[in-house]
Amino acid sequence: MVRARRVVTILLGMAILLWSMMATAFATRVANVNVVFVVDCFTYVVNGVSQFTDAPPFIHEGRTFVPVRFLANSIGIEDEGIIWDATTRTVTLNMFWVSVTLQVGSPFITINAGDGDVRREMDVTPLIVPPGRVVLPARFVAEAFGLEVGWNPIYRAVLIGMPGQLPGVPTRVVASDRLLLSTREVIALVQPAVVSLETDRGPAGSGFFVSSDGWVLTNAHCVQDSQWIIVTTFDDQEFSATIRKMDIGTDLALLTLDNPLQLQFPFIHFHRYLQCVTIGDDVLAFGAPWGLDRTVTRGIVSAIREMDPIPGIWQSRVTVIQHDAAIAPGSSGGPLVNMRGEWIGVNTAVLEDFSFAVPADYYYWLQRTR
């Protein structure tokens, strides 16, 4: 009997110690949460470090929706703690002893913090948006894990932190360690990396090298369904090319040269994501409008906006950079570059004299797809 009591006492002590350690770890993790999501921005900030999402926050019926997976990661929930049931369209988030369950189309959130299920009603229902992400306002998930959510209307930013310790909004335009260049300097830096494309259908547009070993970025609509592709470089060398990755939703394609002969190609070394693009920025557009290769035009960023699908161009709702640098058929696939020589987008479409480029953010995700 004495031995049994001793074993029970030891086990109880171990359980209390384990619970205490878990509570300390949980408290430490959430205490370090400092997160900022910005509407329409593919980057978000966690403890001062920029991260990337393939589903930027957006405003729907007066509420700001954020992707649940990236929200969960930002507050310390590991990937293995995120469980998606495709049959029931249910997401379960687990961190230590706290479990939160959401269902697409249902206004209820279920929270279990070790003392049984608590079911609360939300004033919205989770949605699914391309590319298959579950989204909802951050407050419901963050508060379930003991965090506070705020809103900055000037920057349209969602702020997440410990109660009473919401973060400030980082400067939207991150200071670059690269100096502003003259127009001549940008052209000299970028133009050798720009290529022209031809397919079995005729002149197809433009593209540019994104690596020294011959990877070319262009628009999907320039090369989709082509029997063959010829890439002509700045110094008039011609190479056949193959599509390696393509996303018709965002109208981007990555090509590789079939026989690069172990050459080292000039490429644009730096790019900037939407977080670092500001309305009014000076930009240069490179390409071959109407087959006129080595063409450069100048303009400014006039807007960053959401655009619905356009037949024959992008096939899903995308965020685009609107600018007034002149582009025309043949410019598609060429780089849009800032005055630091960094490409910020891929020129894609002209609609009623307005020019549009797909942001570099989408390249980040295309680059990482299999």
CA separation for the pair 114, 117 (Å, rounded): 8
Contact 147, 33 (CB under 8 A): yes
Count of other CB atoms within 10 angstroms of residue 147: 22
Residue with tokens 């096939």: 315
34: left (phi over 0), alpha (psi -120 to 50) or beta: beta
Is 353 catalytic? The answer is no
- 37 is written with which tokens? 């999501």
- 92 is written with which tokens? 């379960």
Phi, psi of 2 (to 5 degrees): -65, -40
Q: What angle do CA 302, 304, 305 make, to 5 degrees?
A: 120
What is the residue type of 270? F
Catalytic member of 99, 206, 221, 293: 221
CA separation for the pair 261, 290 (Å, rounded): 30
Contact 345, 321 (CB under 8 A): yes
CA separation for the pair 255, 105 (Å, rounded): 40
Is 308 catalytic? The answer is no
- 233 is written with which tokens? 């470089």
Catalytic member of 74, 206, 332, 355: 332
Count of other CB atoms within 10 angstroms of residue 242: 12
Catalytic member of 247, 251, 293, 361: 251
State the distance between the two ends of the chain, measured CA to CA, in whole angstroms. 62
Phi, psi of 179 (to 5 degrees): -80, 155
| Residues near 12 by beta carbon (within 8 Å), at least 6 away in sequence | none
Is 221 catalytic? The answer is yes
Contact 186, 196 (CB under 8 A): no
Phi, psi of 17 (to 5 degrees): -65, -45
Closest CA to 284 of 355, 350, 221: 355
| Residues near 246 by beta carbon (within 8 Å), at least 6 away in sequence | 220, 223, 224, 252, 253, 254
Q: Point out the residues that are catalytic.
A: 221, 251, 332
